[in-house]
Amino acid sequence: MNPFNRIRDFFRKPAMIGTPPSRRPMWHDPAAHARDFARRYSDLVNYHVESRMMELGLPTGRIGFPDPDQGGAWHTFFPHAGKGGVVFGEGIGVDSGVFNPDLLKDDYGRRAGRLFERSRLRDRLDAIIAHEYEEQRTGSHVAALKAAPRTTLPISDRAREIARAMEKGWKGW
């Protein structure tokens, strides 16, 4: 055997263990990745969303609603939807959109999209809860856009900034 081959073989890295990168799922779609994450951790996220709604002082009757996808069990987090949040009757829910960094880019403009993308999960969650709370209270998405930045809920300053950017960037006027 050639002595140079032995030297070359000495410096070679060992074979890879596990699935090669070319065979791993590639998440080029942030919304699909958000839904996948939300589905895997839905119980923990549901607990966190419910806790945050209680911390913000939402009335008990507005926290969540029955989820038909899960046998009618009461939930505040809905992993299969991806709009950010939802109002159903008196109840308010959050969905996998809270994990999607691209959630606001198309409908609310670049500034709102960038703010949402670069914000902590808690600030994103506060902004969504405030918007859905105001939408349930006012009965209108457009009215909620105006009311959310000035909501009486004790949301974070960053969440208020996101809500203001949503109001200014809304493309559905």
pLDDT band at 72, cuts 50/70/90? confident
Chain segment 101-115, per-residue pLDDT in tens: 999 999 999 999 999
Q: Is the pLDDT of residue 13 over 80?
A: no
What pLDDT is attached to residue 18? 73
Q: Is the pLDDT higher at 67 or at 170?
A: 170
What pLDDT is attached to residue 3? 66
Amino acid at 9: D
Tell me the average pLDDT across 1-30: 67
H helices of the chain, in order, are: 3-11, 30-40, 42-55, 105-117, 121-138, 141-147, 157-169
What pLDDT is attached to residue 84? 94
Chain segment 143-158, per-residue pLDDT in tens: 999 999 999 999 999 9
What pLDDT is attached to residue 95? 95
pLDDT band at 31, cuts 50/70/90? confident
Helices 121-138 and 42-55 cross at an angle (nearest 10°) of 60
What pLDDT is attached to residue 47? 95
Domain ranges of the chain: 30-169
Q: Is the pLDDT of residue 9 over 80?
A: no
Q: At CB < 8 A and 24+ separation, what contacts does 55-59 make?
A: 56/126, 56/129, 56/130, 56/153, 56/154, 56/155, 57/153, 57/154, 58/92, 58/129, 58/133, 58/153
Q: Is the pLDDT of residue 67 over 90?
A: no
